[in-house]
Amino acid sequence: MSTRRWPLWLAVAFACTGCGSSRDEGSVRIAVGGQAQLVYLPTTLAQELGCYEQEGLRVTLQDFPGGAKALEALLGGSADVVSGFYDHTIQMAADGRSLRAFVTMLRYPGLAVVVSPATSRRIRRIEDVQGAIVGVSAPGSSTNFLINFLLARHGVPADSVSIAGIGMSATAVAAMERGRVDLAVMADPALAQLQRRRGPLKILADTRTAAGVRELFGVEMYPASVLYASSAWIQRNPATARRLARAIRRTLRWIQDHTPEEIAARMPAGFVGEDRKLYAEAVRHSLSMYSPDGRMEPEGPQAVRRVLAVSLEKVRGARIDLAQTYTNEFVTDP
């Protein structure tokens, strides 16, 4: 998410979010911060499996190029819920705005810091990246914050690298193959596509696994993609929030009980691409990052705040009650 000040109209729109009556009971608009990424797979798969419909919900998924744009849609009133990274709730809390995650889809971020196969630089470790161009989904994004945290952890000044926005899908693969960047933060299936085309890659940090999360963040869980909404919307629509959470939990259980090939077979063809086998392999590498039950563990929000504090002065200086940025109320059986 960008660190810029929000325009006045967005601030006013946010203040009005949750005012008045529900637009249509059972109808929910979900803004997704990059729907083709595997980090958001449960949001789409729930629709493909009919899980929203089974809960009596009419869900419209709105695809955006990144989490910041999905957040803008929520603040502007064109979306009710966001399928995005949890860190947005903390950033907005630092601005005095109340957003709350109510079901957690990822217990690991699913991101990897990868050296470009086309770079002329000799990069073997984080300390080697000074002077390099680093690709992120967008400047000021969650991927940018991850890089800043990694640099700080290894004593590398953040201003010693150049940040370039390259997206997270085909544009990221192209940027890495053509040497537009020296390294990048990537996610599957784009990472799997690059590996298939260019062979083994040098990975400096990998948060797709428990071991990688433990090594980088020192915790067992680092929450990433969640469903979140304004606290006002949740207070006004608790039954809808519970039904959404139940649909996602049912989807997460379905993922645990099926093979990568079966998962790939249920996803839209436009997301899977021409090589369904490659997509299934990317899913296989990502299976461990999906939450088994949709719950948030207290250590996760604390770790996320530590990462954000490296990049954002407003987070470092704010008094934030992390318990108000998420709830497990809707992921417990009624």
Superfamily of domain 8-108+222-331: Periplasmic binding protein-like II (3.40.190.10)
Residues in the chain: 334
For residue 3, pLDDT over 50 is answered with: no
Fold of 112-206: D-Maltodextrin-Binding Protein; domain 2 (3.40.190)
Query: Sorting pLDDT into bands at 50, 70 and 90, what band is 334?
Result: low
Whole-prediction pTM: 0.87
Contacts of 145 (CB under 8 A, 6+ apart): 87, 307, 308, 310, 311, 312
The stretch 118-140 carries a mean pLDDT of: 95
Distance of alpha carbon 323 from alpha carbon 308, whole angstroms? 17
Give first-to-last CA distance, the chain, whole Å. Answer: 34
pLDDT by residue (tens digit) across 22-61? 455 689 999 998 898 999 999 999 999 999 999 999 999 9
Q: Give pLDDT tens digits for 91-114.
A: 999 999 999 999 999 999 999 999
pLDDT digits (tens, 9 = 90+) for 279-291: 999 999 899 999 9
DSSP state of 209: S
Within the chain, which residue ranges are assigned CATH 3.40.190.10? 8-108+222-331, 112-206
What pLDDT, in 10s, does the model give residues 56-82? Answer: 999 999 998 888 889 999 999 999 999
Position 65 scores a pLDDT of: 80
Overall average pLDDT of the 120-133 stretch = 97
Closest CA to 245 of 236, 255, 234, 256: 234
| 27's tokens | 């109808």
Q: In 3-state terms, what secondary structure has residue 90? A: helix
